[in-house]
Amino acid sequence: MPNRPVPSVRQQATDDPVERVLRARHSTRRHRATAHALARHLEPESWLDVGTGHGRLPAAAKDVLPYTAYDGTDPGDAVEEAREAGHIEEAHQGLLPDLAPRLADRYDAVSMVHHLERVPDPDAELAAARTVLRPGGHLLIEAADPESRSARLLGPWWPPHARSPRACLLPLGRLRRALDDLGFTLVDVERRTPHLPLDLTGAAVLVVGRRLPRAAGPRRACGWAAAPLIVLAYALDQLLAPLLVRTGFGNTYRVIARRESDG
């Protein structure tokens, strides 16, 4: 699913199915679940959310870990808006590998939630995360799983395949090796609960965007024709999610790793 906004059937509709696709991955419930996953291992004094955007994850995590200080990084202007909104305390605009030297050994926790698939060099991001973590600090990663059955079944219509360069989609085994090389110890791996039930919906949006405008007439008419397809795909995603995550179709994994000391 592309990061740029997808034209809706009705621009003023507040519950348009395409808009629901774009909002679902940023739901407060999902971000609280991420914070709970980290809280099972530590209560950090300081947490850096990498690629924070408008700071939705820190804003939700405060309900779980209210005594943690949250900062954020992002290459865009949204990180300053997140600071102004009170979601984070310090805003660092830019990519983490460029920011890491001045943030070295500063954080107990670093999160990268659907961040690695959007950057040009995931390995550099992981190395930078180690730099900014204190010894004993924890790195939390949630990332699209290119080895999921959903990825193989949908192929080029799987939303992360359409959104991200293949080299940025890290199989879990490759991520494990990269973390081990950097001196991390894995403390938790989860391939079910982080699942985003949006694969069919995203595929439907891609089909609408790539196929129907060329085959149909005006864009608005095309949008109206596509709405039932998107609504059906969304309903199937939600209905089938409990089954899919138990049968290898979970599309996201979560890894929590501890940075060991240099000595």
pLDDT score of 223: 54
pLDDT per residue, tens digit, the chain (263 aa), is 334 333 222 233 334 333 445 455 568 889 999 999 999 999 999 999 999 999 999 999 999 999 999 999 999 999 999 999 999 999 999 999 999 999 999 999 999 999 998 888 999 999 999 999 999 999 999 999 999 999 999 998 888 888 777 667 999 999 999 999 999 999 999 998 999 898 998 888 888 877 665 544 444 444 555 678 888 988 999 899 989 888 889 999 999 999 998 76
Q: What would the 3-class secondary structure string for 45-78 be?
A: CEEEEECCCCCHHHHHHCCCCCCCEEEEEECCCH
pLDDT score of 23: 52
| Residue of 44, 22, 253 lying closest to 35 (CA atoms) | 44
pLDDT score of 9: 22
What structural domains does the chain harbor? 27-196+249-259 (3.40.50.150)
pLDDT score of 118: 87
pLDDT score of 168: 79
Name beta bridge partners: 253. Answer: 143
pTM, to two decimals: 0.84
Cβ–Cβ < 8 Å for 143, 111: no
